[in-house]
Amino acid sequence: MSTDTPLKTEGFAHPKRNVAALGIEPGMSVADFGSGSGIYVLHIAEALEHSGRVYAIDVQRDLLQRVKNEAQRRGFKNVDVIWTDLERPGSSKIADQKLDLVLISNLLFQIENKAAVLAEAWRVLKPTGKLAIIDWSDSFGGMGPQKRDVVTKESAQKLARENGFELLREFSAGAHHYGLIFRLVPQKKP
């Protein structure tokens, strides 16, 4: 008998529950940096109740096209897709201080220039804006990122602190993920 058993869905992050934990309200402007499949984008669009904006930002055009198609299929007219490499300064093409929230989910372990991504979040957030980071807490035998690529909760907090953010609170993001919400420290621009 094998000791390897498939993980149940509750072992993964819970996008709908995590979006609820972010405090998204109708009328907000939100960006999902590294939106991937767009699952968070769609839950955010739903939480916005057809008002505000949600920006799906990714480097993979095919995934962005799928997000756009699915948003249209569901009748969400407040979803915009932006193709870019977030590791370049100013790359999101979003105006300074425009957003209420930036979500970075399962992205930090995939990129080299993490500071550039956080600097871009700092740039586009309103002074009252929030940054949410959701990422893998470990490798889990190859289910998540490779062990060497894992960005621990402590590392994410340090990275955020070094780039002008202050931790507001943690939230439960799933059995294998952590969730952190930060605010800007205005006098500490990266």
Residues 2-58: tens digit of each pLDDT: 333 332 333 456 888 999 999 999 999 999 999 999 999 999 999 999 899 999 999
Residues 69-95: tens digit of each pLDDT: 999 999 999 999 999 999 988 889 999
Kindly give, in sequence order, each residue whose CB lies less than 8 Å from that of residue 71, ignoring residues fewer than 6 positions away.
38, 41, 42, 45, 79
Q: Is residue 125 part of a domain?
A: yes
Q: Which domain holds residue 135?
A: 84-184
Identify the pLDDT of residue 190.
58
**Cβ atoms 25, 50 nearer than 8 A:** no
Q: Is residue 150 part of a domain?
A: yes
The tokens describing 93, both together, are: 């093409």
Q: Is residue 55 part of a domain?
A: no
Count of domains forming the chain = 1
Q: Tell me if the pTM is above 0.85.
A: yes
Identify the pLDDT of residue 12.
59
Average pLDDT of the chain, as a whole number: 88
Residues 113-150: tens digit of each pLDDT: 999 999 999 999 999 999 999 988 876 666 666 677 77
Q: Is residue 63 part of a domain?
A: no
Higher local confidence (pLDDT), 2 or 65: 65
Q: Is residue 20 part of a domain?
A: no
* Confidence label for 189 from pLDDT (cuts 50, 70 and 90): low
Indicate which CATH number applies to the domain containing 176: 3.40.50.150
Q: Is residue 158 part of a domain?
A: yes
Q: Is residue 90 part of a domain?
A: yes
The CA distance from 80 to 158, in Å, is 31
The CA distance from 156 to 165, in Å, is 11
Q: Is the pLDDT reported for residue 64 higher than 90?
A: yes
Q: Is residue 2 part of a domain?
A: no
